[in-house]
Each structure stands twice: as C-alpha cells, then as structure tokens.
Amino acid sequence: MERKDIDWLNHGGIRDASLAGDFGTVIRQARRLAGVTQIFLAEQTGLSQSAISRLESAGGGDYSMKTLASLAECLGVPLGLVGLADRTKGIPVQRRELLAAGLAAALTPALADPPGPTRPEPGQAGALRLVTASYRRLDATTPSSELAETVQGHLRLVQTLARSADTGIRPELASVGSEAASFTAWLAWDMADHGSARRWYGSAVKAARSSGDTLLTAYQIGSLASFEAEAGTPSEALRLVTSARHQAGDAPPAVAVAWLSSIEAVAHAAQGDTKAYERALRATERAATRCGAGPAPWPWIFAFDERKVAACRVACAGKLGPGRRPQLTETDITTALSSAHDKQRALLHLDVAGRQLSARNVEEAFTIASHALTEGLRLRSGRIVEKARHLRRRLTQPITATSVAEFDHLLHSAYL
C-alpha cells in the first residue's frame, strides 16, 4: 500500500524542539502523535521503558545517538530532526501499520486553515483585513481565551469605522466586519461557548448581507452550518447548507461546492445516514478535483485539496456508529494529519479514537484520545475537551484498560 510521510516540519512543537536541540521532546511529541506508549515503543526497539523516559526528559542535554536513531526510525521521524545524518538519503521511512492507525489531523471545513488575502489590498479595508488574517494565523497554536478579547476589540473597531464611513466604502467595511465576526464566533466555539458562537455567526451573516457580497454570505452561512453539524444539530446544518448553496448561485466556484458538500457529509454522518453521507462525500471528491492547485477563487479559504477530503472522511468515520463505519486507509489518516493546525489535529485524533471505539478497540481508542486531550488541555480548548467527554460517555461498561484510566485522570483534571 502506498504511504504518505508526515511533513514533520509542519508540526510547530517538533520543529521548535529540534531547532533548540531538545531531541527528547521531538521523540515525545512524535510518540504522542502516533498514539503509542513508552512501553510499546520499548517493545518495538528493544530499549527499556526507563531509557525512553529518561531520553524524553533530557531537555537540551546529551543524548545517545544509537538510542535516538532507533526511536526515530521506529516512529518514522527524519533523522535530521534529532540531530543525526539521514541514512535514508531522502527516501521516506516506511511507517508501521499500528503507528499510522493512531494518526489523525485537522478538520473543520476549510475554515480550519488560517486564510489571508491572495494579494495586498490598498486602503483602510485592506489593512483591517490583514489584521484579521494575522489573528487567524495565531489561532492554530494559541489558546482562544488569549485571543478572544483582542479580536473582539478589533471587531468593534471595524464596526465603528463602518458606521462612520462614506456610503461608497461602507459595503467593503461590512465585508471586513463579517470576516472578523466569523473569526470571533470560531474562537467562541473553541472555548465551548456555543451561545456566543451562534450569536457571532449570526452577526457575520448579517454583515455579509449588508456588504452585498452573495458569495461571502454563502460562506458565512456555511460556517454556521459547519458549527451546527458538530454541535449536535445536524438537521439545522443541512438546512443551512441548502441556504448557503442558494446564496452561492448557479455557478459557484468548485472550492465552494467542495466545502459545502463536506459539511453536508459530516451532517449526514452525524445523523447516521450512510447513503446520504456517501453521496455528499462523492460530491466533495468530484468538486475537489476541479479546484486546481492555484490560489482559491473563494478568497476566505485556501484551496480544498486532497487533505481536506481525507479529513472529511476521517471526521465522518468518527461519527458513524457500529456497522456503518466507512473504510479508511492509512493514506486517508496520514494525509489528514498533514495540517499544521494543532487544534484541528487533536479534534481529528478524537474522530479516529471514536472509530476505534466503535470497532471495540478500547485500548487503542483511549491511547489516541489521551494524546488529543493532552493537546486540548495545553491549548485550553473547551471544544476539544468537550469532544473528549462525549467520547468517554460512549463507554458505559466498566473497563480496566490502562489507557482508559490514564484518560480519566486527564479528564478529571480538565478545568479550563
């Protein structure tokens, strides 16, 4: 089976640790991404668990090159990231099946990637839009609670300027305000504040309509649909997808078709409607092939590529119940994992964990889920923690698995 390597340099924590010479952290982060324990890694490499623990805690100290090489090769980490010459000379290290099964990455619809203008814009609106894009880029690795107040202040500034602006530029400022309100909603969603998220998404839709930009209006309605699909109201999500398509017109860009179809697929999966999910996923795949490799014509998101399609498959697999699980390949999982968005990787780890739990692989499910929850606590993401709680509620019978006990310990200490 063809396999895709992880672009390890896209993982901020691994990249930064490598540059600092903290190779123990590189191994620890890679192990957690793989969803395996120190004991499992010790069995695979012939090392002792205590040796691996000491290495992961060594900080910027001295390392055994032999131990580093053994662990890196087992995990599939390029040797250059642990300060060693890459003996593969550029040939990708083959991933182990069990490691790949624990990998997942970022999804939310295309909004998950921090978008920015495709070209510099002149004037006040362009400057304000650039600020919004800059805050979005911080979202991947910054707790939303640290961004929310600043972003709301930015939104208030945009709204104030729009109210006092000349009639000619007011629609453009309304467009900027819509984008800022949508991002404010996104942050509220990440903090598990669903009431505020709905309110800000509503503001984003209203501002988009004031701008006269029907495509932006479609995007904001679609963003609200994405939220509803994940927040437990898939029927409302489907209604909103229909409304967004109406706003997008008869000949929308392929990226709009792909994105809205992916939201529809997630909503149908949440309802347990396998046939409808499969139809929507096929529509997503067809539209994605028409998106091309260039800049997305829909300016608020990046191109909808194979990674986004793979992420949609993984997200839906986590929602469909026993007997309805779609077939996922290692390539689907590793492709989805290639996102650089830490929060989204954690969310999809939980989708993979949900799929494992549906297959009654309890130990594997909660090993993966513990990694996701650890990331959620680090980033103080209420959305990740609540999704982890939902996964735990699915396990109703008493279980003595070590991974469940470790997960429960993490969950019981989750005070955000």
Q: Give mean pLDDT, residues 384-398.
A: 91
Residues 6+ apart with CB under 8 A from 361: none
Question: Looking at the chain, how many residues does it have?
Answer: 416
Rounded distance between C-alpha atoms, residue 384 and residue 378, angstroms: 11
Closest by Cα among 180, 130, 132, 179 to 155: 180
- Average pLDDT over every residue of 156-177: 93
CATH of 8-97, one of 1.10.569.10, 1.10.260.40, 3.40.50.300, 1.20.1060.10: 1.10.260.40
Name the residue ranges covered by the structural domains of the chain: 8-97, 110-331, 349-412
106 — pLDDT class (breaks 50, 70, 90): very low
Q: How does residue 9 score in pLDDT terms, banded at 50, 70 and 90?
A: low
pLDDT for 192: 95
110-331 shares the fold of 8-97: no
Is the pLDDT reported for residue 36 higher than 80? Answer: no
Question: Among 127, 313, 299, which Cα is nearest to 208's?
Answer: 299
Task: State the DSSP H helix or E strand holding residue 149, giving kind and residue range, or none if neither.
Answer: helix 144-164
Give residue 103's identity as a one-letter amino acid code: L
- Between the alpha carbon of residue 281 and those of residues 105, 121, 161, 266, 317, the distances in Å are 18, 35, 42, 9, 12
Average pLDDT rounded to a whole number, residues 96-117 = 36
Give the Cα separation of 164 and 254 in Å (integer). 37
- Say yes or no to pLDDT of 268 above 90: yes
Q: What is the mean pLDDT of the chain?
A: 82
**How sure is the predictor about 60, in pLDDT bands with cuts at 50, 70 and 90?**
low
Per-residue pLDDT, averaged over 288-302, amounts to: 72
Q: What's the average model confidence in pLDDT over 186-207?
A: 97
> pLDDT category, 8, cuts 50, 70, 90?
low
Q: Which CATH superfamily is domain 110-331 in?
A: Tetratricopeptide repeat domain (1.25.40.10)
pLDDT at residue 202 is higher than 80: yes
Residue range 307-312: mean pLDDT, rounded? 91
Kindly state the average pLDDT of the residues 197-221: 96
Q: How far is CA 56 from CA 17, 260, 348, 361, in A?
A: 12, 43, 25, 27
105 has pLDDT over 50: no
pLDDT grade, residue 299 (50/70/90)? low
Q: What pLDDT does residue 111 have?
A: 37
pLDDT score recorded for residue 115: 45
Under 8 Å between Cβ of 288 and 310: no
* For the ranges 53-57, 252-256, 259-263, 339-343, the one whose mean pLDDT is highest: 259-263
- The Cα diameter of the chain in Å comes to 72
Worst-scoring range by mean pLDDT, 248-257, 286-295, 345-354, 389-398?
286-295
Is pLDDT of 392 > 50?
Answer: yes
From CA 321, how far away is CA 341, in angstroms rounded?
27
Say what the pTM is.
Answer: 0.71
